[in-house]
Structure 1
Amino acid sequence: MNIEPELAKQLLATGAMMLLMDAPVNLGFGIDLNEWQTGPRFKGLKLIPPGFHFVFYSSKSTVTGESGIRTGFFKFFEPKEIHVVQWDAANEDIMDEKDLDKDQVQRLRFNIMEFEPNLGAYPLMPHPQQPVPTFQKWLRLTQMITKPLIHRMLPTDMKVSSLVSVSRFSDLDARIVSESEGAATAGDVNPGGPNDALLRMNIQFTPIDLKRSFPPNATPDQITKYWLDKSYLLTSALSKHYHGDYRLLLGELQFSFVLFLVGQVYDGLEQWKCLVQMICASKEALKTYRATLFMDFLDVLHSQVTECPQDFFTDALSSSNFLRAAIVDLVANMRDPDSVDQLPNPKLEAKLAQFVKLVSDRFEWDVEEAVREKWAAEDEEEGEFAPVVVE
């Protein structure tokens, strides 16, 4: 989406503010896809568009000059909200306003215009070095992330850390994971408990097991079929974990991506890979979801490929990496006449062509040739040479 002048005026009128008291000089500070170094007069941000954002920060070593651990919090800002936080020098962290003196917070809000000259403006408009505004990019990357999704997945303070955040991909005792899931369900964490610190930094990713992608009590033929085609896993996950709403699945896909890209939490990459593999390898599901889930998935993946640093995707497209195979699976499945009905879908085909061109041009990789090689290999494997999965 493009930011029209009228929309920009509306954002200027409804923008939120975040007041950051006692911020140290040279603090690495950012919001969404923007990052700066704080100066001596920095007091926070203004003109923050209402909606979903990620505020992050990291202190710099006075000896080496290198940035420390990235920490941040996700927040849905309300129109004209004034959110007050304070830097805690002892812990090198930000204290949320709920942990501050309520009277002090009210005084700061009342006197907000005294700080306005020292509030940095959220970048809303393009400039020569950034022809596409970062807010426009952020919207493309996060438009399906909702409040219920974030509240289900994140700790109550919405905080994450590149070092101490944990999830189902972390090397944790199963009892800790079970305790965390129970606490999340009950909406409570036992303060002072032996695993309190871990529980407060646990991210509740949806448990998707790519190795168990077939039905219970499946026949050998079904095991083989759904080992290769993840459609049963996809439809089961939609029903069990996402209330049948594919947009919640894509919302988690977007959250996992920005958690890794901006939050620098590696577990986000692992969940993103898992979800991408599941969707790309779901051939049978195209009959049901090609005009809905797959249509929107192409938009989501297109934006992610566009915004991610090129060196990451260059490495990810190496012959041993999952992403090359996932993209080939997706394109081959969507162009296989056996996996879709006979009625053409020009909009879907146009989106797929745009995505193939983006990947081919940006990474100098012939996707079309890779798809032809996949089909040729499948033709050779038919009959007595067809793959069999033994469980």
Structure 2
Amino acid sequence: MDTDYDSSHLGQVNFYSKKRGQCLPTAEEKPDLHSSASVDPDIARQLFEEGAFLFFLDVPEKTEFGIDTTSWNVGEKFKGLKMIPPGIHFVYYSAVSKDDVTSPRTGFFHNFKSREVLVKRWDHAHEGMSVEVVSAEETERLSLNVKNLDGYLGAYPYTSYKKWVSLTRWITDDTVERLSPLGPNRSVFSVQQLESLPHISSRAGTEAPPKKLKAEARQNPLTDLPDMKVIESTRIRFSDLSLRPVTTAGAVPSDITRLNMDRSGALEKLISTDCTGVESEALAEIQFAFVCFLTGQVYDAFEQWKKLVALLCSCEESIHKRPQLFIDFIGLMFFQLREVPRDFFVDIVSQENFLTQTLQGFFSIVENSPDVDEALRSKAQKFKQHLQKQFSWDFSTEVGEDAPTIVED
């Protein structure tokens, strides 16, 4: 789909086109900003006057740069983007070598204010965004010259904006602050950032002297490899959803079974603690994880997304307590499943059958529980029919070996 402005009156930037990588599913588009795709002139004018500006200075030619669901390979005149609709966006980039090898992706979330001018600079030594803050004087100079620099700024791909809004409706400033890594630029990395640990002598439990390290290396070459750990400040700070058996003092076995099959307690704890009592923040974390995976190419985010989806699909008690949360959850899933390529679902079904089993459990709870909110029941039924038609998924069979084990009294 073409996602460019007809921006002849606003200036153009030289971009290269590049075929989308196939290593991870992605909803990105790589439009040619020289094309003549039309956007209503009044909307374009309003965005130019009220939209935000992102200056990304000194970015090398051919670097992959993107915002939300669209990315490009930049040309020599590139200095950033204009006409960014106010709100939360995800900006990302990858260095590209002289041999056209693209490095892992790095990105960050930012809530752009109307007419904001955000300035970032490329760090050539580290092949990424500089951690140094651009001076207020330089930011002011660029702010006063945005019209003169128009020809160096690409236009935000507005025709894909509705898609972005549908994928990030629940993400707020609080979400970004809560989940983003704490490291420089609050950057989200597609690959783990590691640091080496001091070599510890297995016998003494202390840092080994050089002579001992050499002796150990001769006996076992693998001991010469450094011990590595993830740099904590680069982790996305997802909620801890580790599965722990639920027990209650004095509970009979059948009660323990019920508590572990119905994960409403875990959801209520998530909302009351991590989400500070705001139930929509649970949906926001699902969207944050999905965007980090789909656009940021962070595989750990996909694992978190699966855990969150599985949690919300296993809450019989909370469905009665929070019907609107689950109505909104269905809408969220509808838009997310539209963006993942069809062949990716085939991989899921063939390997783990995760989505069909998980959603089957959710539909079963809604259909079979008494006194379920009628609006929720109706929306769940329509969503189920949509999935059956769109993906030919079968929700009629019982969940197999992954079903919880029943504990008899």
Q: What TM-score do the two structures reach when normalised by structure 2?
A: 0.75
Return the index of the structure with the highest Cα Rg: 2
| Cα displacement string for residues 342-379 of structure 1 (whole angstroms, at most 9, x for unaligned residues) | 6x61x334422332233223322223x23xx45xx89x
Name the aligned partner's letter for residue 371 of structure 2.
D
Describe the shift of the 1:212–1:114 C-alpha distance in structure 2 as closer, same or farther (beyond 3 A): farther
The answer (yes or no) to whether the contact 1:72–1:263 under 8 Å persists in 2 is yes
- The whole-number CA distance in structure 1 between the counterparts of 2:251 and 2:40 is 54
Is the aligned partner of 1:48 residue 2:76?
Answer: no
Amino acid at match of 1:366: D
Q: Secondary structure at the match of 1:274?
A: helix
Q: In structure 2, what residue type is equivalent to 1:100?
A: V
Instruction: Report the CA distance shift for 1:151/1:227 in structure 2 as closer, same or farther (over 3 A).
Output: same
1:189 corresponds to which residue?
none
Helix, strand or coil at the partner of 2:317: coil
Residues 1:215 and 1:11: Cα distance change in structure 2 (over 3 Å)? farther
Is 1:26 matched up with 2:45? Answer: no
Aligned amino acid, residue 384 of structure 2:
V
Match of 2:137 among 78, 100, 103: 103
Q: Is the 8 A contact 1:165 1:265 kept in 2?
A: no
- Aligned partners of 1:119 and 1:216: how far apart in 2? 64
How far is the alpha carbon of 1:203 from its aligned partner?
A: 1.7
Report the Cα offset of residue 8 of structure 1.
6.7
* Aligned counterparts, 1:83-102, within 5 A: 83-95=118-130, 99-102=133-136
Q: Is the 8 A contact 1:247 1:293 kept in 2?
A: yes
- Residue 55 (structure 1) shift: 0.5
- Cα shift at 1:387: 1.8
Alpha-carbon distance, 1:149 to partner: 1.8
Q: Which moved more, 1:154-163 or 1:354-363?
A: 354-363
Identify the structure with bigger relative contact order (alpha carbons < 8 Å, sequence gap 6+): 2
SS at match of 1:85: strand
Hey, what's the Cα distance between the residues in 2 that align with 1:258 and 1:213?
Answer: 31
Residue 330 of structure 1 aligns with which residue? 362
Write out per-residue CA displacement over residues 252-287 of structure 1, whole angstroms, 9 at most, x where no aligned residue: 111011111111111111111111111101122221
What is the deviation of 1:162? 0.6
Q: Which residue of 1 aligns with 2:342?
A: 310
1:90-127 CA distances to partner (integer Å, 9 max, x unpaired)? 1111126x623333332222222221112111111xxx
Deviations 1:195-225 (A, max 9, x none): 9981321221111222334557754222211
Q: Is 2:170 aligned against 1:144?
A: yes
Distance 1:216 1:238 in 2: 24
Q: Which amino acid aligns with 2:293?
A: F
**TM-superposition CA deviations, 1:313-335 (whole Å, max 9, x none):** 22123362322211100111111
What is the aligned-residue RMSD (CA, Å)? 3.0
Partner of residue 192, structure 1: none
Question: Structure 1 residues 200-209 or 262-271, which shifts more?
Answer: 200-209
Corresponding residue number in structure 1 for 2:306? 273
Q: 1:211 to 1:107 in 2, by over 3 A?
A: same
Give SS of 1:358's match. helix
SS in 1 for 2:273: helix
Q: How does 1:368-387 map to 2 (within 5 A)?
A: 369-370=396-397, 373-374=398-399, 387=406
**Separation of aligned partners in 2, 1:288 and 1:297:** 14
Q: Secondary structure at the match of 2:147?
A: helix
2:103 pairs with one of 68, 83, 91: 68
Bigger Cα displacement from structure 2, 5-14 vs 200-209: 5-14
| Counterparts in 2 of 1:6 and 1:331: CA distance versus 1, 3 Å | farther
Aligned length: 336
1:315 and 1:16 map into 2 onto residues whose CA distance is: 39
The answer to whether structure 1 residue 115 and structure 2 residue 149 are counterparts is yes
Give the structure-1-normalised TM-score.
0.78
Q: Give the Cα separation in 2 of the matches to 1:151 and 1:120.
A: 28
- Verify the 8 A CA contact 1:28 1:35 in the aligned structure 2: yes
Query: In 1, are the aligned partners of 2:356 and 2:393 still within 8 Å (CA)?
Result: no
SS in 2 for 1:54: strand
**C-alpha distance in structure 2 between counterparts of 1:104 and 1:241, whole Å:** 38
CA distance in 1, matches of 2:259, 2:356: 20
Give distance in 1, aligned partners of 2:277 and 2:42.
36
Q: 1:249 aligned to 267, 275, 282, which one?
A: 282
- Conservation of the 8 A alpha-carbon contact between 2:192 and 2:230: no
Deviation at 1:36, TM superposition (A): 0.7
2:49 paired residue number:
13
Give yes or no for contact 2:356–2:394 (8 Å, CA) kept in 1. Answer: no
Distance 1:6 1:246 in 2: 37
For 1:21 and 1:317, the matched residues in 2 are separated by 44
Output the amino acid matched with 2:176. Answer: I
Q: 1:350 to 1:215 in 2, by over 3 A?
A: same
- Change beyond 3 A, Cα 1:322–1:123: same
**Alignment of structure 1 residues 127-138 onto 2, 5 Å:** 133-138=159-164
1:389 and 1:21 mapped to 2: Cα distance?
66
